[in-house]
Amino acid sequence: MADSNTRGGFHDLIARERELGLGFICWNLAKTLAIAGGMLMIGIVVMTVISVLGRYLFNAPIPGDYEITELATGVAVFAFFPYCYMKNANIVVEFFTGSMNLRWKRVLDTIHHFIFAMVAGLVSWRLYIGGMNKLEDGETTLFLGIPIWIGYFSALPGAILLTVVCIWGFCLHLRAIYR
């Protein structure tokens, strides 16, 4: 991962902007969502350990444990995305851009953040559409009968927040080109 010096100080810019207005709101929401995602992952681990122990010691695993794991992991992953973005913790490969001047790096980063925002918006939209389809179809998990739409709509807040923070980041990067 690149440091702030090689990426034109964007890490510092994002860190400063997290303290103001929309950045402050998004930062606090992202932290809260990441903590909730972490707690969900811990719950998955505890449930898995209990299920494995139950299976081997008492021949009684938790029924449908993999269904719960599958749904909860998807939700947790989406809960981490906005925090990762706001910490500027995405992987950056600088093989071609390492020797570019700062202005061109900023332009490329701005394009990258625009594309990231569009993809995040597309994922959010498709999660919503998929959730609505699953709600209408009434599809459930095989053993526990958990409605599938719950997973879609539970992941949606993380995807929407990712879209918002990506648009916010794009605007920051666009502004940085002209400074």
Tokens read off for 17: 């902007």
Contact criterion met (CB below 8 Å) for 4 and 167: no
Give the CA count within 13 Å in the CB-facing half-sphere of 82.
35
pLDDT, position 133: 98
pLDDT by residue (tens digit) across 146-179?
Answer: 999 999 999 999 999 999 999 998 998 888 887 7
Residues 6+ apart with CB under 8 A from 163: 117, 120, 121, 123, 124
Place of tokens 């794009």: 170
Average pLDDT score over the chain: 89
pLDDT digits (tens, 9 = 90+) for 19-70: 778 888 999 999 999 999 999 999 999 999 999 999 999 999 999 999 999 9
Determine which of 4-8, 21-25, 64-68, 123-127 has the lowest per-residue pLDDT on average. 4-8
Asked whether residue 14 carries a pLDDT value surpassing 90, the answer given is: no
pLDDT of residue 5: 43
Residue 1 binned pLDDT confidence (cut-offs 50, 70, 90): very low
pLDDT in tens, 78-106: 999 999 998 888 777 777 777 888 888 88
Q: What is the DSSP letter of 36?
A: H
